[in-house]
Structure 1
Amino acid sequence: MFTDVTYKVIIKGLRTNVEKEILNGITGLVNPGEVLALMGPSGSGKTTLLNLLGGRLIRSTVGGSITYNDQPYNKFLKSRVGFVMQEDVLFPHLTVKETLRYAALLRLPKTLTKEQKEKRAVDVIYELGLERCQDTMIGGSFVRGVSGGERRRVSIGNEILINPSLLFLDEPTSGLDSTTALKIVQILHEIAEAGKTVVTTIHQPSSRLFHKFDKLILLGKGSLIYYGKAAEAINYFSSIGCSPLIAMNPAEFLLDLANGNLNDVSVPSELEDKVQIENSEADNTQDKPLPVLVQEYLVEAYETRIAETEKREMLVPLTLDEELKSKVTYSKRQWGASWWEQYSILYRRGIKERRHEYFSWLRITQVLVTAIILGLLWWHSDSSTPKGLQDQAGLLFFIAVFWGFFPVFTAIFTFPQERAMLSKERAADMYRLSAYFLARTTSDLPLDLLLPILFLLVVYFMAGLRLSAAPFFLTMVTVFLSIVAAQGLGLAIGASLMDVKKATTFASVTVMTFMLAGGFFVQQVPVFVSWIRFLSFNYHTYKLLLKVQYNNIIPAVNGMRMDNGVVEITALVAMVFGYRLLAYISLRRISLHSGS
């Protein structure tokens, strides 16, 4: 039940801040077994109202009352609420079955076994008619996958897995053809008939869809124009003198009224007189436009005719299902899996999702072709002469730069690209942020190791570097350490800025600075900027690679003394953990700011 709900936002201007009212005194009630549709033109506030009812907006800025079985929103209730966003936020490389299986393992209660959770995922697949495409990848912009209707059913399946007491959906039929849209609404009706409560926004449904809704809220510029049974909406507007002059889809007629469009609509004489007066005085710039006049009339008519009656009927409290009724006052957050289980599930999911990207023919070709070109340019180089030594030092510096540059610009996209998924899943309390972060950063490590091995197998032997086991494996460890440190920098930049363009620009300047201070181009760095060298993973990697190749052979190369390498290893290890800690803190800050 929600009573006199208001919501305002502060719009920052150049000189002063302006307070804008999004919702103004919205009242309504929806019971188990009912489907409530929120309708209205774009900008009317229906999505804001849905987010408020579903607990997706910060409540401190909300006026009025929103209760569930006479109880306020709490953490336990959050685990019993399903919320389907307008956009289908799904991993493109996972199949339908894998998507629902991972969601079931993370979201269903700990009391269920792994087998019971997986069976629930299969049951949902058959419940939503997805059995034909269960082994097909979801797909996306660059990956062929399931159809739009099937993708939308997968999004709904992610939420009904938990058998929610309340299900909220934002434009579930958006972008779908009429037949597919009808199937979606029929599914919602079946969910409601099972004793659940369904609330959905809908933009412009067909007449068949409109008659599937039990209750309707019609909004206009944040105000309530109609609340009641959907089947009685046309009769109500006829009773206040507004009726269609031609055969129209009821939803189209209602949206025309909410927009203030009176074409093909009869209006009462009272409103017609106001419109004529305004039209005759059109030169007065302070006059109200026609849509505002119509809206004010409709809001006033609703408040004087049926608002009080509806409020009296709402005195009977909303009754949710028995499980929720008994536990709704229990406010402790309910995780579906332990921390370690969350980490394990997310780790496996991460590897499955990204293995296609890591082992794409484009990426393998890029690394392999670069390695072959390097091998040909430094074919059997000889370090016994000063010129040959200088050439080999150049190769080692390029390796340090390449495996510093490459991981940074791969890792930058990690969190900005997954922000929508992270926000969605964290809002549903699917896992702890720490479990996600550790799984996301460690699931890349096995994949990150394979391409450098391929690269070094080609370059090392073609270039004629030290042909013994210890230098080869130490070179590989050094490169891998450089990759993990550089990847940490990319993660930190991406998580801090959460904007791909800004992050790419910032990373370009940073990586270029680290490369220039890497010890190959300039040996005598001025004292006042010498500290940059110690922040550069290129510098530490280059120095370690030189030590591996020329230790105990020559005392120094390009001004680099061959010491024991402890400082360089310590610096790289500090970067591995330090950059990741910065990335986690940035994610935590964003998570707290968004309220998830």
Structure 2
Amino acid sequence: MPPNNTQEVDSKTDSSSFFSSTCSYPLTLQFIDVTYRIKVGPASDGSPGRLKRIFHHGGGGAGAANPEERTILNAVTGRAVPGEILAVLGPSGSGKSTLLSILAGRLPNRASSGSVLYNNRRLTRSVAKRTGFVSQDDLLYPHLTVRETLLFCAMLRLPEGTTPAAKAAAAEAVIAELGLGRCADSVVGNAFVRGVSGGERKRVSIAHEMLVNPSALILDEPTSGLDSTAAARLIATLAGLARKGRTVVASVHQPSSRVYQMFDSVLLLAEGNCFYFGPGKDAMDYFGSVGFAPSFHVNPADFMLDLANGFAEMDYQGDHADKSSVKQALISSYNRVLGPKVKASTTAAVGDAPHIGSQRSSTSDHQEKKYSGSSSSSRISWFRQFTILLHRSLKERRHEAFNSLRVFQVMAAAFLAGFMWWHSKMYNVQDRLGLLFFISIFWGVFASFNSVFTFPQERAIFVKERSSGMYTLSSYFMARMAGDLPMELILPTLFMLIMYWMAGLRPDVGAFFLTVAVLLGYVLVAQGLGLAVGAIIMDAKQASTLVTITMLAFLLTGGFYVQNVPSCMTWVKYISFTFYCYKLLVAVQYNAHELASLGLSHHGNRKDIIAQELEEQVSATLCVVALLVMFVGYRCLAYIALRRIKT
């Protein structure tokens, strides 16, 4: 677990001695003829579009529509060197994010072609650990403070041999270097939780990657959502990081002139094609040399984006040029004038560059292993990962599990049930069975519906952290399951403490604890169903719909509403954990002898209910075993579903 504040930093010397502000392993990034294509159309996935196509075209025969192939990147070439910022400019949909994802090794190789080299070698696991990737969205836990966020990251990402105090010192050094000291003890926040500002949150995302002292830092739209001043400060921070020997590549949508001046190199994309690559200060001269020059002083970035969108210099005089002809002219000019020079300079030191999907050579393996050993990049032990993730889960989840609305919901249900069944008598079997089934309904739906959002909501953070090699899937999953136990079991216990004695259920202490034990086990099983469905579908709306339908089927066949279940539906109750929970709750309150004796003095329709309970007496051992199997089975399904997520 992260150390307390008194242990975090012994002195400024300790902090600076661990985190070297100068990059110790410069990394030159070269990308040559990078092309990325995807298939679009009804046949590109296994979605309902395929079913629609089959029905409309006779089973996918000759009349079936074939998927179209769309080119996202078209033979893009360039280079990023240590000590400089390479800015990737272009309008929305130009391929900026795709290019950065390829450079960071975050897209599948099968869809791309060309060469991406790091110091003339293909990307390896060791180099990937020294490459920081900051996505456009700030994927952070909102209820953790800035300091807690970076402490947990340091504990997970820094090598096993590093002491906790040194890891805390590294976190403090990054906080100081990125100017986060003033907000270090403020929660990160998000769109729903008030926290630090947008610029500070973006710097926290960068600090997340800076903890490993990366050689290359790749950022997707780091200035999105920031005002011009905050954007300039952020780019200035990145420039400072680059000046210390790091390679910085960032996509920027619409930089101001002040921000543009900080760029060392610029790559301009439009619809996947390269319009310009070279020093930022030379861009305007190049476009002027090929016939595209503004008639008045203008922000170079604005002018380049106009060109990328197909607007030529004539627009500044009130006329409009044909967009497609402008783009074709720019592509032709680049391929004729600048492209050969760029490719020649980029490939000069490469030699025979390996393809993206090729196997790296034994020489590269030897060099990377040598560097990997010197950088001490070994992952921390499984148990250490588990304890850190458990601590983080407890800190983050306490805000979600015990928010005022959820506590009010449980308290209101407990008091409502207590007053509705106020001091019910033991011979009021129908009323008591209704109460027991109400408990099953409420906690089955409550637990499963809340847990179904767990993995869909955390998917983005989970993929990001797993891609960075922070932890194994098993340690994350076990910490998540263990962290849920106290969070999920406190509210049901509180519910039963209020409702049990108000309703006048069997006044034995043993019966009370057995009822609580049955309810807690039932909650964990219902939670497992929600986790499994959420992990399998990974869409919150679809998963919640499926859980609602499943719980409806379980409740209707749970043994209370319908006495004569159709034979075709009888099997459902045997996979319904509501059925087993209800039978256990009835068994705690009534045994077979008591039900039989109460049935002798029946009145109204109570005889049918008692007779049904006597006929459906299920072994308590069988019920417990069934719930245990479901407890384990649902979680195994959730784990298997998480394993299929590509990172």
TM-score by length of 2: 0.84
C-alpha deviation, 1:145, in angstroms: 0.8
**Taking structure 1 as reference, are residues 291 and 264 closer, same or farther at Cα in structure 2, changes over 3 Å only?**
closer
Find the partner of 1:306 among 319, 330, 338.
338
2-structure distance, mates of 1:522, 1:484? 26
| Deviation per residue, 1:389-426 (Å, 9 max, x gap) | 22111111111221111101000111111111112111
C-alpha deviation, 1:71, in angstroms: 1.2
1-structure distance, mates of 2:305, 2:567? 70
| Deviation per residue, 1:319-346 (Å, 9 max, x gap) | xxxxx99537879995532111111111
1:16 corresponds to: 66
User: Secondary structure of 1:10's match?
Assistant: strand
2-structure distance, mates of 1:503, 1:531? 23
C-alpha deviation, 1:571, in angstroms: 0.6
User: Secondary structure of 1:44's match?
Assistant: coil
**Aligned partners of 1:69 and 1:317 also within 8 Å:** no
Find the partner of 2:500 among 452, 460, 463.
460
| Deviation per residue, 1:208-236 (Å, 9 max, x gap) | 11010111111121111111111111111
1-structure distance, mates of 2:402, 2:571? 38
1:379 corresponds to: 422
Greater alpha carbon shift after TM alignment, 523-532 vs 194-203: 523-532
**Aligned partners of 1:7 and 1:23 also within 8 Å:** yes
**Aligned partners of 1:37 and 1:216 also within 8 Å:** yes
C-alpha deviation, 1:12, in angstroms: 2.3
2:24 corresponds to: none
- Asked if 1:352 is matched to 2:395, the reply is yes
The residue type equivalent to 2:471 in the other structure is Y
Greater alpha carbon shift after TM alignment, 549-558 vs 22-31: 549-558
2:266 corresponds to: 216
1:53 corresponds to: 103
**Aligned partners of 1:520 and 1:558 also within 8 Å:** no
The residue type equivalent to 1:185 in the other structure is I
**Taking structure 1 as reference, are residues 73 and 331 closer, same or farther at Cα in structure 2, changes over 3 Å only?**
farther
Find the partner of 2:165 among 115, 135, 155.
115
1:369 corresponds to: 412
Q: Which runs of no fewer than 5 residues in structure 2 stay unpaired?
A: 1-29, 43-52, 54-64, 351-364, 597-609
- Asked if 1:572 is matched to 2:627, the reply is yes
2:563 corresponds to: 523
1:7 corresponds to: 36
Greater alpha carbon shift after TM alignment, 206-215 vs 501-510: 501-510
2-structure distance, mates of 1:156, 1:336? 21
2-structure distance, mates of 1:32, 1:558? 82
2:49 corresponds to: none
- Asked if 1:242 is matched to 2:292, the reply is yes
C-alpha deviation, 1:460, in angstroms: 0.8
Q: How does 1:193-592 map to 2 (within 5 A)?
A: 193-264=243-314, 290-317=322-349, 326-327=367-368, 336-383=379-426, 385=427, 388-551=428-591, 553-554=593-594, 557=610, 559-561=612-614, 562=617, 564-589=619-644, 591=645
C-alpha deviation, 1:500, in angstroms: 1.7
**Aligned partners of 2:293 and 2:313 also within 8 Å:** no
C-alpha deviation, 1:524, in angstroms: 3.3
User: Secondary structure of 2:594's match?
Assistant: coil
2:217 corresponds to: 167
**Aligned partners of 1:105 and 1:336 also within 8 Å:** no
2-structure distance, mates of 1:84, 1:34? 17
| Deviation per residue, 1:54-81 (Å, 9 max, x gap) | 1110112211111111111122222111
2-structure distance, mates of 1:558, 1:331? 72
1-structure distance, mates of 2:371, 2:466? 20
The residue type equivalent to 2:368 in the other structure is K
**Aligned partners of 1:242 and 1:266 also within 8 Å:** no
2-structure distance, mates of 1:330, 1:520? 67
**Taking structure 1 as reference, are residues 266 and 551 closer, same or farther at Cα in structure 2, changes over 3 Å only?**
closer
**Aligned partners of 2:292 and 2:313 also within 8 Å:** no
Q: Which runs of no fewer than 5 residues in structure 1 stay unpaired?
A: 268-274, 280-288, 319-323
**Taking structure 1 as reference, are residues 335 and 502 closer, same or farther at Cα in structure 2, changes over 3 Å only?**
farther
The residue type equivalent to 1:306 in the other structure is L
The residue type equivalent to 2:423 in the other structure is H
Greater alpha carbon shift after TM alignment, 308-317 vs 146-155: 308-317
2-structure distance, mates of 1:325, 1:229? 35
Q: How does 1:171-186 map to 2 (within 5 A)?
A: 171-186=221-236
2-structure distance, mates of 1:451, 1:544? 20
1-structure distance, mates of 2:576, 2:465? 36
C-alpha deviation, 1:477, in angstroms: 0.7
C-alpha deviation, 1:35, in angstroms: 0.7
**Aligned partners of 1:355 and 1:447 also within 8 Å:** yes
The residue type equivalent to 2:41 in the other structure is K
C-alpha deviation, 1:312, in angstroms: 2.7
TM-score by length of 1: 0.91
**Aligned partners of 1:243 and 1:265 also within 8 Å:** no
2-structure distance, mates of 1:222, 1:23? 4
C-alpha deviation, 1:572, in angstroms: 0.5
- Asked if 1:131 is matched to 2:178, the reply is no
The residue type equivalent to 1:106 in the other structure is L
**Taking structure 1 as reference, are residues 558 and 517 closer, same or farther at Cα in structure 2, changes over 3 Å only?**
farther
**Taking structure 1 as reference, are residues 558 and 215 closer, same or farther at Cα in structure 2, changes over 3 Å only?**
farther
1-structure distance, mates of 2:252, 2:204? 19
**Aligned partners of 1:74 and 1:331 also within 8 Å:** no
| Deviation per residue, 1:64-114 (Å, 9 max, x gap) | 111111111122222111000111111111111111111111111222112
**Aligned partners of 1:38 and 1:216 also within 8 Å:** yes
The residue type equivalent to 1:588 in the other structure is R
1-structure distance, mates of 2:270, 2:121? 29
RMSD across aligned positions (CA): 2.2
Percent pairwise identity: 47
- Asked if 1:40 is matched to 2:90, the reply is yes
1-structure distance, mates of 2:262, 2:437? 68
1-structure distance, mates of 2:184, 2:167? 16
The residue type equivalent to 1:297 in the other structure is A
| Deviation per residue, 1:276-308 (Å, 9 max, x gap) | xxx9xxxxxxxxx92221122112212222222
1-structure distance, mates of 2:82, 2:69? 36
